[in-house]
A = this chain, B = another copy of it.
Amino acid sequence: MSNTFGRLLRLTSWGESHGPAIGGVLDGCPAGIALAEADMQKDLDRRRPGQSAITTQRKEPDAVQILSGVFRGKTTGAPVAFLIENRDKNSSHYDAIKDIWRPGHSDYTLDAKYGLRDWRGGGRSSARETAVRVAAGAVAKKILKNVAITGYTAQVGDIAMKRFSATQIEKNPVRCPDAAAAEKMRRLIEKVRKAGDSVGGMVEVTAQNVPPGLGVPVYAKLNADLAGAMMGINAVKGVEIGSGFACASMRGSRHNDQMRALRGKLVFKTNHAGGILGGISNGNDIVVRIAVKPTPSILKPQEAVDKKMKNVGLRVIGRHDPCLCPRVVPVAEAMMALVLADHLLLHRGSRI
């Protein structure tokens, strides 16, 4: 239940940061999709550690193997299982802090829940698990066919993007569509890293060409499922769709997206809805923004408590991302893809 995501298209994920491997099982995948490991690898490489100077230097090839569900290059309708080995798992860093609950981490809460935990690299709580989502998201993107999902870093610290150029996104290590802002962000991240600190940011994901009609009016709304999916990404503290928090100070007369019929097509003059009305897609671009907290693993000294309820000083060592945004981008895209593909399949049951 808890490690499965989705309704009809269901991803079950497993694995810990420092175990032998992590992996997933994608069930409910329709038969007949051309699928190869390369489809997954492309996005995995965008999430991979060590891809630039501003990401963690853990060295993981993150090479994915598909173990089932594909026969002669096509999905068969059987569950697609895949596995990624953990190679560069030096757990010795963690021995020293195995009894300490680190601030900003789930150490304490895991102990409170389960009475024990795999302390090596965050165990199950490690963001390493998001590689599984990215691999599955690549399959979801194939189900979505013409839907174009684009994620990027919109803000790092106080530096926000000012302009949008899609071609810029993958050209800078921050994955920001504004080259000038990207360079400022990169320098800020470098500065923060050298200070042994970390910094937060914002990631935006859009989906274009989403057919109208995906979602439902109550509970399993498209926006509700997207919010759950995005808030479930490690380190995310906020989610907004369309106008988001800005709607609080708006009037209805401005917020309502006025509609026009243009050559037989429905057009919205604005997109405060962010592509979703009453829980159902309206054909407009879906626009989701998420707030990413600064990496909790920092080199600065901190105040922690250990399992014996003793106050301790803590100075974490290890290899960490000074800003999570660049690597959150492909994860957020994957979650968007998984939700949309799930609702595309669910939609097939909506009419007799």
Contact of A69 among B14, B240, B293, B351 (CB under 8 A): B14
Report if A112-B293 is in contact (Cβ < 8 Å); known contacts: A77-B350, A232-B279, A248-B155.
no
Most buried by B among A8, A248, A257, A311: A248
Closest to A238 in B: B240
Q: In the complex the two chains form, is A237's CB within 8 Å of B242's CB?
A: yes
- 5 sample A-B contacts, Cβ–Cβ < 8 Å, listed by A number: A14-B69, A104-B255, A113-B347, A224-B232, A238-B244
Interface string of A105-118 (1 = CB under 8 A from B): 11011101111111
Partner of A226, one of B4, B68, B74, B231: B231
**Closest B residue, CB atoms, query A308:** B261
**A200 interfacial contact with B, CB 8 Å:** yes
Contact (Cβ within 8 A) A238 B239: yes
Contact of A260 among B108, B201, B232, B305 (CB under 8 A): B305
Are A14 and B67 in contact, CB atoms less than 8 angstroms apart? yes
Given A218-B124, A238-B245, A350 contacting B311 (CB threshold 8 A):
no
B32–A115 CB distance below 8 A: yes
Assess the B259–A2 pair: CB atoms within 8 A: no
CB within 8 Å for A2 and B220 given contacts A253-B298, A302-B256: yes
Q: Are B105 and A277 in contact (CB under 8 A)?
A: yes
Neighbour of A259 across the interface among B192, B250, B304, CB < 8 A: B304
The answer to whether A230 touches B232 (Cβ under 8 A) is no
A40 contacts the other chain (CB 8 A): no
Interface residues in A129-161 by Cβ distance below 8 A to B read: 129, 143, 155-158
**How many identical subunits does the complex contain?**
4
- A27 and B1: CB pair below 8 A? yes
A326 at interface (Cβ–Cβ under 8 A)?
Answer: no
Are A248 and B157 neighbours in the complex by a CB distance under 8 Å?
yes
* Contact indicator B115/A198 (Cβ below 8 Å): no
Choose, from A44-52, A54-62, A170-178, A208-216, the stretch at the interface: A208-216
Q: A15-B68, A76-B124, A200-B248 are in contact. List 9 more A-B contacts (CB 8 A).
A: A3-B27, A71-B117, A76-B123, A77-B113, A83-B83, A104-B256, A106-B217, A113-B280, A258-B303
Is A79 a contact partner of B255 (Cβ separation < 8 A)? no
- A278-314 Cβ-contact flags toward B at 8 Å (1 or 0): 1111110000000111111110101111000111000
Asked if A333 lies at the interface with its beta carbon under 8 angstroms from chain B, I say no
Are the CB atoms of B76 and A245 closer together than 8 Å?
A: no
The complex places the Cα of A348 from the Cα of B352 at a distance, in Å, of 11
Of the residues B105, B259, B274, contact of A278 by C-beta under 8 Å: B105
Which of B248, B302, B352 has a CB less than 8 Å from the CB of A291?
B248
Across-interface contacts of A227 in B (CB, < 8 A): 227-228, 230-232, 239
Q: Are A114 and B250 in contact (CB under 8 A)?
A: no
Q: Given A124-B76, A250-B200, A294-B247, A280–B350 Cβ distance below 8 Å?
A: no
In the complex, which residues of chain B have a beta carbon less than 8 angstroms from the beta carbon of A252? 104, 197-199, 293-298, 300
